[in-house]
Structure 1
Amino acid sequence: MTLKHRELYERYVYAGAISRNADAVAEMFTEDGLFEAPLVPPGHRLPGRLEGREAIRTGIAAYHDDPQYQRTVDIERSRYVLHDTTDPDVFIAEIDTGFIAPGGRRTTMSLVQIFRLRDGRIASLRDYFAPPAG
C-alpha cells in the first residue's frame, strides 16, 4: 500500500464522513470524475451515479444534509485496510465505520471502495455500501 494511497484515502474520509464537506470531497475528483454507489437503491437521496465534479458536489451535499444520515463517525470503533493492485493508479479500501446516531445509538457500516486515480485526483470511485433502511 503506497503512502500516496493512504494520504488520499485519509483526506477523502476526513472531507466526507468526518467533516461532511461536499466541496472538499468534490475537489478531490478530476473535473470529469465519476462517483458510483452500485448498492444504493433507486430513489435514494444519494444517486447511484454522479458524473462530473459539480454533480458529485451537489449529490454529496444533498446526502450530507439529509437528517437521516446525520451521524458522527466513531473513530475508535472504525477501521480500514487498503490494498494496492497491479495498476498503480488503483487501490481498494475495506472499511468498517462505527457511527453514533443522534440519541446515542451505535451502528457499524461495512463497505468496500475502489479508487482509480489520475494526476493525483480521484478519476472514479465505486463505493459499495448499503445505506441504512428508513
Structure 2
Amino acid sequence: MLLVETVRSTGSQQAILIVGLLCVLLGGLVSLSPREVFLRLVHGVAEGNSSELPDLYGEVTDVRHPMATPESEPLTSRRALREHFTVPPEVRESWPKRSVVDVVVHETADPEVIVAEFAYEFTLPDDSMAKVPCIFVMRVRDGQIIESRDYIDPIRTYTARGDLDRLLASLRKGDTAG
C-alpha cells in the first residue's frame, strides 16, 4: 500500500501507468483512486485514446455537461459514453493537438468525490496556443466513474478546434425568435 500511496502523491503519468499495470496484475485487487481515474481520463482525451475511455466509467453512470452548447442529454451508460467518445478519424485528425495543463485536484470529505481544475491547451495551426479551462466534479467508486459534472467552456473549445461555424449553426437551429 505504501507504493500505491507514493504513486498517488506524485501524480505523474508514468506513475499512474505503473499503478494501472499493478491493478491488472493483481486482478483488480487494487482500484485506482479518483485522482488516478481523472488523470487517465483527461490525458486519454488529450491523446485521442477514445476507445479506452469508456472503460473508465461504470456500466451505469450519470455524466452531464451543464455548459454544453447545444445542450446535451445526460450520458447514463458505458455504451452511451462509447458513442460520445467515438469521433470519425477524419474529424479527429483535423483537430489541433492538445495537452493537459494546470491540474489541481481537490479531495473532498467524501473519499469517492474529487473536484478537478485543469485546462486543455491547444496548439493551433499557426503555432499559437489556446487554453480551455475546465472543472470536473467526479464520483469514482471501485476505480470507475459513476457520476461526473464536466464544466467545459464551449466557446473556447469550438474556437480552439476551428469549429466555431458549427457552434453558430447549432445555436441558430435553436433560435426560435427568428
Total equivalences in the alignment: 127
User: Could you say which structure has the greater relative contact order, defined with CA pairs below 8 angstroms and 6 or more residues apart?
Assistant: 1
Percent identity of equivalent pairs: 25
The TM-score with structure 1 as length reference comes to 0.80
5+ long unaligned stretches in structure 2: 9-32, 159-163, 165-178
Q: CA deviation at 1:65?
A: 6.3
Distance 2:36 2:73 in 1: 26
**Do the aligned residues in 2 keep the contact of 1:70 with 1:102 (CA within 8 Å)?**
no
Structure 1: gaps spanning 5 or more residues? none
What is aligned with 1:57? 82
Kept after mapping to 2: 8 A contact 1:21/1:61: no
Whichever residue aligns with residue 46 of structure 2, its letter is A
Q: Which amino acid aligns with 2:74?
A: R
The structure with more strand, counted as a fraction of residues: 1
Secondary structure (helix, strand or coil) at the match of 2:86 reads helix
The Cα offsets for residues 18-69 of structure 1, whole Å up to 9 and x where unpaired, read as 2x122211000000122211101126xxx35222001101112238864597
The reply on whether 1:28 has 2:53 as its aligned counterpart is: no
1:73-109 Cα shifts (integer Å, max 9, x gaps)? 245xx21100011111000101122111334231000
Structure 1 residues 114 and 102, CA gap change in structure 2 (3 angstroms):
same
1:93/1:63 CA distance change after superposition, 3 Å = farther
What is the aligned partner in structure 2 of residue 8 from structure 1? 37
Looking at CA atoms only, which structure, 1 or 2, has the larger radius of gyration? 2
Structure-2 change in CA distance of 1:67 and 1:7 (3 Å): closer
* Alpha-carbon spacing, 1:103–1:68, altered in 2? closer, same or farther (3 Å): farther
**How far apart, in 1, do the equivalents of 2:35 and 2:96 lie?**
24
Report the alpha carbon displacement of residue 125 of structure 1 after superposing the two structures with TM: 1.4
Out of 85, 99, 102, the position equivalent to 2:125 is 102
